[in-house]
């Protein structure tokens, strides 16, 4: 069972009447990874999550979690997963502690030292009534209930809603720890910045179609960044202009500034071949721009994001 994917969908399709919200989704989420499921509003993220959790019946195709069929083995699956829906309903008059006790009882008990540890990390007040909490503080209770049973797979729909930056940082550390322990995190989001620090891979969905699945490292290599290099000797004006992924080359005596899109070692190899490189600095890869290229609905579907990115900048 440990070789089977954490989550797998095959041709997963969901229609609401005449409207196709999910269109033949083939996706494999590995064990031990944080997987970010990204897409604009209305792309089908919640529909996908609700379908794989058997809260919705697929129109076609199938889904499995830890090798178990989503629908036929729904009860067994519940024992192994943590789930934070986008609209978790809680009783406003219950305190955080009572709310978590309620969720724990549904699961047949919980280790309170884990709960208290999570509450401390997220700076969550469990003594206050849930209805008196701000959105972000209520969300912390939701996160605790998703993590508290040390589940094999944690599925979360827009989990960072309302969390302040410090809490987000802690939450990202929690996700990374889950993955490091060989367990799996699947989270949906509509903003890349929310997942790029924690996720190993991202799947991008648009209009019910899975547009791409990429590792964050590969996404980064597709991002255009500015590179500045200082050399021991003057550099020819046309140096670097033939290197793949290089554009906007400016050479001033011993300093070269250029835009680069690709794996860094290709550029470094060229920079150090027959030259003495003294210093190099690069700007932060702008993943958001790549992601926006995926989001745009006015271009052809099969456009490579980097090409779109270049078009946008041209």
Ligand X SMILES: Nc1ncnc2c1ncn2[C@@H]1O[C@H](COP(=O)(O)OP(=O)(O)OP(=O)(O)O)[C@@H](O)[C@H]1O
Binding mask 163-192 for ligand X (x = CB under 6 A): ---------------------------x--
Residues 6 or more apart whose CB falls under 8 angstroms from that of 30 comprise 5, 6, 184
Among 41, 127, 242, 273, binds ligand X (CB under 6 A): 41
Instruction: Name the minimum Å distance from CB 52 to ligand X.
Output: 12
Q: Identify the CA nearest to 179 among candidates 147, 139, 211.
A: 147
Q: Are strands 255-260 and 34-38 parallel, antiparallel or unpaired?
A: unpaired
The residue within the footprint of ligand X, chosen from 36, 39, 96, 203 (CB under 6 A), is 39
| Minimal distance, residue 157 CB to ligand X, in Å | 7
Q: Which of 208, 282, 279 is nearest to 245 (CA)?
A: 282
* Range in contact with ligand X (rule: CB under 6 A) among 1-9, 37-45, 57-65, 192-200: 37-45
**Which member of 47, 70, 95, 149 binds ligand X (CB under 6 A)?**
47
For 245, 255, 257, 260, 278, the CA distances from 231, given in Å and listed in that order, are 20, 6, 11, 18, 5
In this structure, what token pair is assigned to residue 297?
């609905």
CB of 158 to ligand X, least distance (A): 7
Among 45, 140, 201, 222, binds ligand X (CB under 6 A): 45
| Shortest Å, Cβ 151 to ligand X | 22
Sequence-ordered list of residues with C-beta below 8 angstroms from that of 17, at least 6 positions apart, any chain: none
Nearer to ligand X, 34 or 43 (CB): 43
**Cβ within 8 Å of residue 260, ≥6 positions away:** 224, 225, 226, 227, 245, 246, 247, 267, 282
Residue 164: CB minimum distance to ligand X, A = 21
Q: Is 206 in the site for ligand X (CB under 6 A)?
A: no
Q: Which residues of the chain form contacts with ligand X (CB under 6 A)?
A: 16, 19, 21, 39, 41-47, 190
């Amino acid at each position: 069972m440990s070789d089977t994917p954490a989550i797998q969908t095959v041709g997963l399709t969901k229609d609401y009447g005449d409207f196709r919200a999910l269109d033949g989704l083939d996706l494999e989420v590995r064990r031990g990874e944080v997987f970010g499921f990204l897409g604009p509003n209305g792309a089908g993220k919640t529909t996908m999550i609700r379908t794989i959790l058997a809260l919705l019946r697929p129109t076609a195709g199938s889904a499995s979690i830890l090798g178990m069929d989503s629908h036929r083995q729904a009860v067994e699956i519940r024992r192994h997963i943590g789930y934070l829906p986008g609209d978790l309903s809680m009783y406003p008059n219950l305190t955080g502690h009572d709310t978590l006790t309620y969720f724990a009882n549904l699961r047949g008990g919980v280790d309170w030292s884990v709960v208290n540890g999570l509450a401390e990390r997220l700076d969550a007040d469990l003594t206050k009534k849930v209805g008196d909490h701000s959105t972000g503080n209520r969300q912390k209770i939701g996160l605790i209930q998703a993590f508290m049973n040390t589940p094999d797979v944690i599925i979360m729909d827009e989990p960072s809603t309302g969390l302040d930056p410090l809490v987000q940082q802690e939450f990202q550390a929690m996700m990374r720890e889950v993955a490091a322990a060989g367990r799996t995190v699947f989270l949906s989001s509509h903003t890349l910045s929310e997942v790029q620090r924690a996720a190993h891979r991202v799947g991008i969905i648009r209009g019910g179609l899975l547009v791409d699945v990429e590792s964050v490292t590969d996404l980064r290599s597709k991002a255009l960044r500015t590179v500045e290099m200082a050399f021991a000797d003057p550099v020819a004006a046309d140096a670097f202009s033939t290197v793949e992924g290089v554009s906007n080359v400016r050479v001033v005596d011993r300093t070269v500034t250029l835009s680069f899109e690709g794996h860094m070692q290709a550029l470094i190899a060229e920079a150090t071949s027959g030259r003495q490189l003294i210093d190099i600095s690069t700007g932060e890869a702008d993943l958001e721009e790549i992601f926006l290229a995926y989001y745009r609905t006015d271009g052809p579907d099969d456009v490579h994001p980097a090409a779109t990115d270049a078009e946008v900048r041209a």
